[in-house]
Amino acid sequence: MWGDGRLCYGGDWNPEQWSPQVWREDVALMRQARVNLVTVGVFAWSRLEPAPGRYTFDWLDQVLDLLHDGGIRVALATPTASPPPWFSLAHPGALPVTADGVRLHHGSRDTYCAAAPAYRTAARRITEVLADRYATHPALAMWHVHNEYGTTCHCEHTAAAFRTWLAQRHGDLGALNTAWVTSFWSQHYSDWAQISTPRATQYLANPGQLLDFRRFWSDTLLAAYVEQRDLLRAANPRVPVTTNYVLGDWVPVDHARWAREVDLVAIDHYPSAVDGGAEEQSAFAADLARGWARHGAGDGTTPAWLLMESAPNHIYTPGRMHTKEPGRMARHSLSHIARGSRGAMFFQWRAPAGGAERFHSALVPHAGPDSRVYREAVRLGAILDRIAETDAGAVEASVAIAWDAASGWALQHPGLPSASLDHHAEVSAAHRALWRSGYACDVVVPGDPVEAYRLLVLPALYLTCDATADWVREHVRRGGHALVTWLSGVADEHARVRLGGYPGALRDLLGLRVEEFHPLAEGEQVLLSRGGTGRVWSETVRPAGAETVTAYVGGVLDGLPAVTRHRYGAGAAWYVSTRPDDETYRRLMVEAAHAAGVGPVCPAAPPGVEAVRRRAGEASWLFLVNHTDRPQRIPADGMDLLTDTPVDGEVVVPAGGVAVIRETPD
């Protein structure tokens, strides 16, 4: 709704790759597809500033005017994610260095060190120049700073900045030595100058150093963003500023923390599963984004977030681009919008003839507009126009799942009991169990308000500081339910193991003590007493007040608890000491949710039909996304916005189709 009262629809457009004739054709095609927002200039630095201090804005002036004339608004990017070749040649010390000491070279994108002063200076300069020229352009809907912040470096600039950051974080060397447990392996530092980034070393690296290096990069990249944002805001305070988040295990960015600094949380989402997993990944990503936005808003206002990039017709898997089936693009878009995205944006508008991503998906593919993809794009544009009113509604959820960037990073460290530990995978597995049960859920960051939720799920919340432990305890004490899974509470904020029995921070809440871990081998399973299996992990759980819900069957843990429940305060805390298989997890989640008094969004929706409700005051909208290959009849009353027909008791959602129903108030 950035300016024109409609959901955002469009994508990245790179006019610098095309002739003015194509520009005009593109604007006509955009209008045909009802596109109303395009991201421009993301990788245009070398075309905007072909030599240091020499600027060529004519083409961009024309492009913005042309778009404005066509009624299309612009997310104008600062092009700092890829400095031009002249910059790299002039500033070799601003090229990034790997942990092995390899200095990378120009030839791709993102090849700079964000801690290098020369880079930061050049980035600020181009930002200022852009702001000067375009901050009041009528086409400007928002600033899109940079692109997918996430690169790191190990150069000397970085090492110096890391030491400065560490001094600020830890105050004095003694505190750092304690936090990093440098008494292990003779790593005690007696001078700040002795500390380097976690460069290639002989054997396992220090977990505290690794964790702080990620945090340092999150803060350093954020500082680079904030510098630009402040310049842009200064030029025109009314234009919102954002940057598009890239998701992935390798990204050293705490997206929740960043959410406080953006006017709009924007995510790029590319599922990696070809099968139904793609739909589950999309729903999870959307819930994550909404959670980050809520965390960033802080003040309870409706959080704004936007699916800034998605692939029109590809799912990228290792070694292959899978072509999305007909209708799937729209379903993925609607799933995001149902979960609060302010629109559906794509990478990219038009497929390029060259460059490294010449085969990346586009709304106008190599084949041109006479293509299935473009025809689906036109249909999607029409759908979005019909459902614009839903943007006013807030997503309803009574379950919350905790997510924590730092726990994700800490579980990537070497020396853990198993190489299969993955915070994101565990949060995702819990989310999937809820998704398959038809429950809506919010993602929360430890410390966020959780009074609104009946059930709080903590999957593998490995780093649990005292405040977080208090936060969970307080939730349960006052009557909430919690479902805690293995690894949660094991370590503190410095990734130091809490002693005396796992999970150190939560033993009292859970009414138990874990004496030993029994990691499972790849593919190994343990049987559970109420059916189903556990994978990845198992534990010797010693109850101290908790009751056994499910026991292990067979093996050295035979008869010992696998799942427990503990009355605590006015609520209850469940503990799950293994990773249940998907169906067992789903049933467990239903049981816990039921005990907590939570029901699914649309009890009659069959498996494969995603149901989300948005509500604004008296009004409510029910999104029904049918991922199955047959029509589905679902009880509903109101108006189907897509077909503009009344729904009286039942709606038939077409195979692979969507229904959005403005519900009749009860």
- The binding site comprises 109, 113, 147, 153, 155
- Helix (H) or strand (E) segment spanning residue 159: helix 156-170
Residue 477 Cβ vs its own copies, minimum distance, rounded to whole Å = 26
Distance CA 119, CA 112 (A): 7
Q: Which of 68, 129, 196, 226 binds its own copies (CB under 8 A)?
A: 196
- What's the closest the beta carbon of residue 422 comes to its own copies, in angstroms? 13
Residue 310 burial (C-beta neighbours within 10 Å; 0-12, 13-18, 19+): buried
Q: Which of 353, 603, 618, 629 binds its own copies (CB under 8 A)?
A: 353
CB of 212 to its own copies, least distance (A): 12
Catalytic residues: 148, 309
Count of CB atoms within 10 A of residue 250's CB? 10
Residue 320 vs 478, nearer CB to its own copies: 320
624 binds its own copies (CB under 8 A): no
Q: Is 371 in the site for its own copies (CB under 8 A)?
A: yes
Q: Is 44 in the site for its own copies (CB under 8 A)?
A: yes
Q: Binding of its own copies at residue 181 (CB under 8 A)?
A: yes
Contacts (Cβ under 8 Å, ≥6 apart) of 305: 264, 265, 266, 267, 289, 290, 292, 293, 340, 341, 342
The residue (of 182 and 220) whose beta carbon lies closer to its own copies is: 182
Does position 55 interact with its own copies (CB under 8 A)? The reply is: no
| Binding status of residue 363 toward its own copies by CB under 8 A | no
Helix (H) or strand (E) holding 274, with range, is: none
| Cα–Cα separations (whole angstroms), residue 463 to 180, 450, 467, 473, 526 | 14, 19, 11, 16, 26
Beta strand 265-268 with 244-246 is: parallel
Verify binding: residue 375, its own copies, rule CB under 8 A: no
- 313 lies in the site for its own copies, by CB under 8 A: yes
104 belongs to the binding site for its own copies (CB under 8 A): yes
**Nearer to its own copies by C-beta: 466 or 650?**
466
- Stretch binding its own copies (CB under 8 A), from 185-193, 435-443, 560-568, 649-657: 185-193
Among 20, 24, 69, 101, binds its own copies (CB under 8 A): 101
Answer yes or no whether residue 45 interacts with its own copies by CB under 8 A: yes
Interface of this chain with its own copies, residues 552 to 581, rule: CB under 8 A = 556
Binding its own copies (rule: CB under 8 A), the pick from 236, 302, 420, 529 is 420
Closest separation between CB of residue 232 and its own copies, Å? Answer: 19
Closest separation in Å from C-beta 408 to its own copies: 18
CB-wise, 112 or 568, nearer to its own copies?
112
Count, residues near its own copies per rule CB under 8 A: 118
Among 198, 277, 447, 608, binds its own copies (CB under 8 A): 198
Query: What is the Cα–Cα distance from 17 to 69, expressed in whole angstroms?
Result: 21
Q: Judged by CB, which is closer to its own copies: 207, or 343?
A: 207
Q: Which listed residue (24, 366, 630, 633) binds its own copies by CB under 8 A?
A: 366
Residues numbered 492-531 forming contacts with its own copies, rule: CB under 8 A: 494-502, 513-522
Taking CB under 8 A as the rule, does residue 84 contact its own copies?
Answer: yes
Q: Which of residues 78, 206, 464, 485 is near its own copies by CB under 8 A?
A: 206
**Taking contact as CB under 8 A, which single stretch among the options 197-205, 429-437, 463-471, 637-645 is the one that binds its own copies?**
197-205
Binder among 3, 57, 71, 109 for its own copies (CB under 8 A): 109
Provide φ and ψ at 69, rounded to 5°. -60, -30
Q: Binding segment for its own copies among 249-257, 276-284, 365-373, 433-441 (CB under 8 A)?
A: 365-373
Q: Can you tell me which residue has the tokens 């004339």?
A: 69
**Whole-number Cα distances in Å, 248 to 143, 180, 378, 645:** 24, 26, 31, 41
> Which listed residue (322, 379, 386, 615) binds its own copies by CB under 8 A?
322
Q: In Å, how far from its chain's centre is CA 547? A: 36
* Among 39, 127, 158, 209, contact with its own copies (rule: CB under 8 A): 209
Write the CA distances from 621 to 63, 280, 616, 625, 635, integer angstroms: 38, 21, 9, 13, 14
What are the angstrom distances between the C-alpha of 324 and each of 8, 143, 410?
22, 30, 35
Using the minimum distance from each CB to its own copies, give the nearer residue, 158 or 437.
Answer: 158
Give me Rg for the CA atoms of the chain.
26
Residues 131-150 that bind its own copies (CB under 8 A): none
Is 419 a binder of its own copies (CB under 8 A)? yes
> Which is nearer to its own copies, 325 or 583 (by Cβ)?
325
Quick one: which of 302, 323, 525, 529 contacts its own copies (CB under 8 A)?
323
Token digits of residue 659: 């229904």
> Which residue, chain included where needed, has tokens 């995978």?
425
The answer to whether 499 and 588 are in contact (CB under 8 A) is: no
Q: How many CB atoms lie within 10 A of CB 230?
A: 14
Amino acid identity of residue 185, one-letter, is W
User: CB of 73: closest distance to its own copies in angstroms?
Assistant: 23
**Residue among 111, 140, 112 nearest 41 (CA):** 140
Among 58, 100, 299, 644, binds its own copies (CB under 8 A): 100
Q: Compare residues 30 and 541 and give the one whose CB is closer to its own copies.
A: 541
Centre a 10 Å sphere on the Cβ of residue 383 and count the other Cβ atoms it contains: 20
Our measurement of the distance from residue 217's CA atom to the centroid of its chain's CA atoms, rounded to an integer in Å, reads 17
Helix segments in 320-404, DSSP class H:
328-338, 372-386
Least gap, CB of 103 to its own copies (angstroms)? 7
3-state secondary structure of 267: strand
Quick one: which segment of 43-51, 254-262, 290-298, 597-605 binds its own copies (CB under 8 A)? 43-51
Task: Name residue, tokens 């047959």.
Answer: 630
Among positions 259-298, residues that touch its own copies (CB under 8 A) are 274
Which residues contact residue 174 at a Cβ distance below 8 angstroms, ignoring those fewer than 6 apart? Answer: none
- Phi and psi (nearest 5°) for 14? -120, 75
